[in-house]
Amino acid sequence: QQQVKQSPQSLIVQKGGISIINCAYENTAFDYFPWYQQFPGKGPALLIAIRPDVSEKKEGRFTISFNKSAKQFSLHIMDSQPGDSATYFCAARVTSNTGKLIFGQGTTLQVKP
Amino acid sequence: DAGVTQSPTHLIKTRGQHVTLRCSPISGHKSVSWYQQVLGQGPQFIFQYYEKEERGRGNFPDRFSARQFPNYSSELNVNALLLGDSALYLCASSWTGGSSGEQYFGPGTRLTVT
């Protein structure tokens, strides 16, 4: 069964700190791993994504680390800001002609000023 | 350019009724996917359409159906609504179907079934 497990469920970080969210997957038939940020009442917004042939990708304060052998990937938010407070979802795209995304359960991040 | 648009924003229906949700993809995108997001959970895949053809279907009952029009907009239809159908319904747009192209989500339609 294709699953993506995400942890922690919730996270509280002080302003300026590093937020780390982890995901693990159980099926190798994935070819793309995006992270989405969702604010209350809004749709998920694509934040950053990585392909499995790359071990790390950085865009501004956001970095994805990818460990193919361990089937794990993580999102690091450097210098976390109160405006980063949102729910974050990791996802994995099924290798097929559907582009189907399997999402993790989400992590609610609160950055305290 | 406008992003993915969805209508209506909110909808309240009664059990047993039918509902139609609409989505317009980003200009130039030919693929639309539908997801259901129950409160407190990640989105669950319902359908993907590419060039007006269904490319994939998630684990949802036949009460759920969809179609894509020549202008690449899409409709999601749900018949015989159940209380458990209450959720945020999200439409995602991508340049192509399959294993290429990022998916960009719209704001969603919040469906409440009473």
Bridge partners (DSSP) listed for residue A74: A22, A65
pLDDT band per the 50, 70, 90 thresholds, residue A7: very high
Report in angstroms the alpha-carbon separations of A9 from A33, A43, B39.
19, 19, 14
Res B2: pLDDT: 80
Res B46: pLDDT: 97
In A, which residues are within 8 Å of B106 by CB distance? 43
d(CA B39, CA A16) in angstroms, rounded, equals 30
Angular region, A90: left φ>0, alpha ψ -120 to 50, beta rest? beta
Those residues of chain B that have pLDDT short of 70 are 1, 97-100
Res A97: pLDDT: 74
Q: Please give, rounded to a whole number of angstroms, the shortest distance from the CA of B71 to a CA of chain A.
A: 20
Bridge partners (DSSP) listed for residue A86: A109
∠ CA A32-A97-A34, nearest 5°, is 20
pLDDT band per the 50, 70, 90 thresholds, residue A8: very high
d(CA B4, CA A46) in angstroms, rounded, equals 13
Asked if pLDDT for residue A48 goes beyond 80, the answer is yes
Query: Which has the higher per-residue pLDDT, A97 or B44?
Result: B44
Q: Please give, rounded to a whole number of angstroms, the shortest distance from the CA of B11 to a CA of chain A.
A: 14
Query: Which has the higher per-residue pLDDT, B98 or A17?
Result: A17
Which strands form B74-78's sheet, in the order they lie side by side? B5-7, B19-24, B74-78, B64-68
- Which of B56, B94, B108 has the CB atom closest to A43's CB atom? B108
pLDDT digits (tens, 9 = 90+) for A51-85: 999 999 999 999 999 999 999 999 999 999 999 99
Q: Please give, rounded to a whole number of angstroms, the shortest distance from the CA of B85 to a CA of chain A.
A: 18
Interchain contact, B105 vs A36, CB within 8 Å? yes
Res A1: pLDDT: 61
B99 touches chain A (CB under 8 A): yes
Q: Which one of A100, A102, A107, A108 makes the best mutation probe of the B interface by having the most chain B beta carbons within 10 Å? A: A100
Average pLDDT score over chain A: 94
Which B residues 67-96 touch A at CB under 8 Å? 88, 90, 92, 94
